[in-house]
Structure 1
Amino acid sequence: MTTTDPGPLIRLTIADCGAKVLHSAVQLDVFTALAAGPLDAGELAAAAGLHPRLATDFLDALAGLGLLAREDGRYRNTPLADTYLVQDRDTYLGGFIDLTNETLYGTWGRLTEALRTGEPQHLDPDKGGFVGDRHADPEKMKRFLKGLDAFSDRMGVELAEAVDWSGYKSFVDLGGARGNLAAVLVERHPHLEATCYDLPRTAPIFDEHIGRLGLTGRIAFTAGDFFTDPIPSADVIVLGHILHGFDADRSRALLRRVFEAVRPGGAVLIYDRMIDDGRRNADRLLSSLHMRLVSPDGGEYRVADCRAWVTAAGFTDGGDRPLLGTHTLVVGRRPGGDHD
């Protein structure tokens, strides 16, 4: 008789159940309902529109997951939920959670097919692309980008501290969407001239978002395809979640174009959920598998591979460091200028 405990296997088998509890709690706005203070089960069920047959198990499951605390029959948000899951707070990550709920399950449900065929599994096979038809519907696109903004807010804050920006005057955020990361950087380093570079269809959404942030005229928008159109020249070019969309040859080709656009003495900053060189980090490998699942050529890449691409493009190796505990930042520096 085996003595191996099957518990870890069972927990892995039902891991998506906990994630779906979180997704539903965000959709029902359970945590915002508790922002003003504790509620008992009946009060919270009424506030969130929960049916009483499922409410108690659902709320206690949230407590078991560490998102709610229960004391004397009343529920309150834990510090984690209070910080990141209450709407209208600057730290709110609900948009990102909604985004993952909408995008992950449809594609990962077809993983077996993808493993057999090697073909990417789009959200909508008739419309193609990871984002489906969002570009054709401005409201869908705004919701999609709002989910990304929740992440880029945190990344921007960390990137603003991880790099010494004092010697740089300008930067370009390549594939910068509606400019949210650029906005965070210029708010923390007002001396920087910022440009967001993305496809032409993103321009109206960029204008609206930057206007709402009160930064119109502070961040420029340049439209183009960074494989075929000129990349604006700047001291620093940022590539966040860009290279994981392409294979190694395309990544190397893009970095050669970036090298020509970075001014002497400037730098390239690359961040992604890069795979550790020993290929042992399950979270990073799952992220890579996701990119291969939703795109024909994408996938995460090893930190060592990225550093090799950077030096092959002509940059000197500026090393790497962790960001947010989930990502890696690789830095390359273009020789010349005051930074040498």
Structure 2
Amino acid sequence: MVEAAYEAYEDAGIEGKDIQAAWLGTVSSFRTGQPLADALKLDYIPITRVENACATATDAFRNACYAVAAGVYDIVLALGVEKLKDSGFSGLAVPEAPGSDVNPPVPPPSQFALAATRYFHEYGISFEEGKQTLAQIASKNHHNGTMSPKAHFQREVSAEQVANAPMVAWPLGLFDCCGVSDGAAAAIITTPEIAKTFRDDYILVKGIGLSVGAYGILRNDWDFTHFPETVRASQSAYQEAGISDPRQEIDLAMVHDCFTITELIIYEDLGFSPRGRASADVEAGTFTLEGELPVNTDGGLKCFGHPIGASGIRMIYEVYKQLQGKAGDRQLQKADLGLTHNLGGRPGSFTCSVALFGTRD
């Protein structure tokens, strides 16, 4: 938490005393905003602790942005953090519905394995074909991670290694699943007018969408082949940012690749690929660093793991660096408009956040 915050202070050209309010995103580590106040010596300012499953960090960022946009504060901090490795934590808790056998606890690998098998069935994709597509997604992200100094995994993993890895939840193997990690990420939010007094290469928040589903697998309109919350959140963010053709207008996207099948479905939910055609775009290299629309340029959750409260702002960090032209070896030639996406929850009832960032109005 301290390292992330002070890197953000230095980058923004401010000090802790300049922070007027803060939002702390965390799922398992803390119950109040007090640890942020203690660690960063932010005494007596308003600090709000936010939790919204895997969208926690982006939701903390969203609340901080709206506070500035409303004119309540001038300079605020959004920080996401999670310390999972010492806790025995192995994923988001999925409690069983009291007194019910209809909605039993289903661990995340099994949840998304259900989506994978149904998606393959719906679009007539054989196990071998589907596994190869998912393997290319994992291999792409691991390749990008080799150029990310902050990534936890910085090693090439071939599509063959992914396809032949031990099975975790059929058809998802070891390399189809992201890791459990510790981590933190921080962002400083202010108005464009104030930002101009600090630097020339500030980044604008163009739109933010949040969508939360209800009823879980009890609802009869969820088909396991798409995430309605992603569709709704992205449509809200696109409308706010004036985006009509996301595939053509967006230059890069950081999406919630907790599992490779999740990334595949997200391509379609965000409007990057037609329904049932994402596999063809993967085969064509559309989402590689050299492709038409690079996705997860820093390696994604596959290489950073998923410190739940931090992942959303970690994605924003990558878009921020790309739009500034400071992403090092993974820097894209064109990076003017970037997207971040988070998705988490239980089958059929997810929380999703989508944010869009641009270099100028």
Pick the TM interval, shorter chain.
Answer: under 0.3
Q: More helix by proportion, 1 or 2? A: 1
What TM-score, normalized by structure 1, do the two folds share?
A: 0.24
Which structure has the larger Rg? 1
| Structure with more relative contact order (C-alpha pairs < 8 Å, separation 6 or more) | 2
